[in-house]
Amino acid sequence: MYEFEYQKPASLDDVTRLLGDEDAKLVAGGMTLIPTLKMRLAKPTQLIDLGPIPALKRISEDGDAVMIGAMTRHADVNRSDVVKRAIPALAAMAGMIGDPAVRNRGTIGGSIANNDPAADYPAAVVALNASVRTNKREIAADQFFTGMFETALQPGEILTAVRFPKVAQANYQKFRNPASRYAIVGVFVAKSPAGVRVAVTGAGPSVFRQPEMEAALSKSFTPDAIKDIQIKQDGLNSDIHASAEYRAHLVNVMARRAVQACA
Ligand SMILES: Cc1cc2nc3c(=O)[nH]c(=O)nc-3n(C[C@H](O)[C@H](O)[C@H](O)COP(=O)(O)OP(=O)(O)OC[C@H]3O[C@@H](n4cnc5c(N)ncnc54)[C@H](O)[C@@H]3O)c2cc1C
C-alpha cells in the first residue's frame, strides 16, 4: 500500500513550507518518480505536486538568454518558437527524448534534478553553459551535476528554472538505446564567443566535459580536428547495452557528427 498524502500547493512558498518535512518528495512529470514508488524504492510521507504552479511553466527570453521554467515539458521545449529561434539545438534535443508520452509528461526540472546518467538534458545544460535557478540560489552548470543521480541540490531546495545563454552554433547527437531511447552515448557541442564546450552523457556515471576535444575544436572547428582523439575507457559505463570500449568509440563518432552538423 502507498502511504502518503498528496499535496497540491498553489505557490512556491507553500511548496517550501511542505518540504520542511524531510520525508516529503516533489513530483513533476512523475515519469521517473511514479515507477520508483511502484517498485517501493521510495516511500515518501508526502507527495508535493509542482503542477499547479504556473510560474514554473514559462519559457521566456531574458536578454541574451532563454529562461525555461522547471515544469516545462519536453514537448513544449521542442515546440517553442522562442527556443527554436534562440537555441535550435536545444529544441531539437528535447524532441529526441523518449517517446511522445514521455515528452508530454516529463519536465526539464525533473530530468535535471534526477540526473540519470543516460539523460539528455544534462549534456545540454553543461555544453550550453547554462545555470540552474532554485528557490535559494543560482548554480553554474559545471557545479550542478555531482555524480550518478546526484546534484548540488540540497534537501528542501526546489529547482525553479534553467537559464540558457543563446548559442547559434550547437548540435546534439545521440546514439540511443532502441528500447528506452535513453542515450547510450550523447554528445552536445556548442561554440560561442566564449569558446567551445563538449558535454558527454550516457558514457559515464554522470555528464562530463571533454577538454581535449574542446581545445582542438577551439583551434579548428572541424570534425577532422578531433578524429584522432582517443577517449579513455577508465570509469566509463559498461553494461548489457554497451561495453566501455564501445562507448569510448561512440563519444568520438557522436562528437564528430555534432561538429559536422553545426557547420
Ligand atoms: C520510458 C521512458 C523513456 C525515457 N527516455 C528518456 C530519454 O530518451 N532521454 C531522457 O533524457 N530522459 C528520458 N526519460 C526520462 C524522462 O524524460 C523524465 O525527464 C524523467 O523521468 C524525470 O522527469 P519528470 O518530470 O517525470 O520528474 P519526476 O519523475 O516527477 O521527478 C524525478 C525526480 O526529480 C525530483 N524533482 C522533480 N522536479 C523537481 C524540481 N523542480 N526541483 C527539485 N527536484 C525535483 C523529484 O522529487 C524526483 O526525485 C524517459 C523516461 C521514461 C519513463
pLDDT at 1 over 80: no
Residue owning the nearest CA to atom 6 of ligand 1: 98
User: How far apart, in whole angstroms, are the C-alpha atoms of residue 168 and residue 192?
Assistant: 8
Confidence of residue 46 (pLDDT cuts 50, 70, 90): very high
Give residues with Cβ within 8 angstroms of 28, minimum separation 6. 50, 51, 70, 71, 106, 107, 109, 110, 113
**Long-range contacts: 93-98, Cβ < 8 Å, 24+?**
93/120, 93/121, 93/123, 93/124, 93/172, 93/174, 93/188, 94/120, 96/120, 96/172, 96/174, 96/176, 96/181, 97/121, 97/181, 98/31, 98/74, 98/180, 98/181, 98/182
User: pLDDT tens digits for 78-117?
Assistant: 999 999 999 999 999 999 999 999 999 999 999 999 999 9
**Which residues sit with their C-beta closer than 6 Å to ligand 1?**
25-33, 50, 70, 74, 97-98, 102, 105-107, 109-111, 113-114, 119-121, 153, 158-159, 180-182
Pocket probe for ligand 1: among 16, 21, 31, the residue whose CB has the most ligand atoms within 8 Å is 31
- The DSSP code for 263 is -
User: pLDDT tens digits for 132-153?
Assistant: 999 999 999 999 999 999 999 9
Ligand 1 centre to CA of 217 (Å) is 32
User: pLDDT tens digits for 6-28?
Assistant: 999 999 999 999 998 888 999 99
89 CB neighbour count, 10 Å cutoff: 25
Cell digits for 255?
562528437
pLDDT higher at 101 or 42: 101
Residues of the chain with pLDDT > 70: what percent?
100
- The DSSP code for 238 is -
- Asked if 14 and 6 touch (Cβ cutoff 8 Å), the reply is no
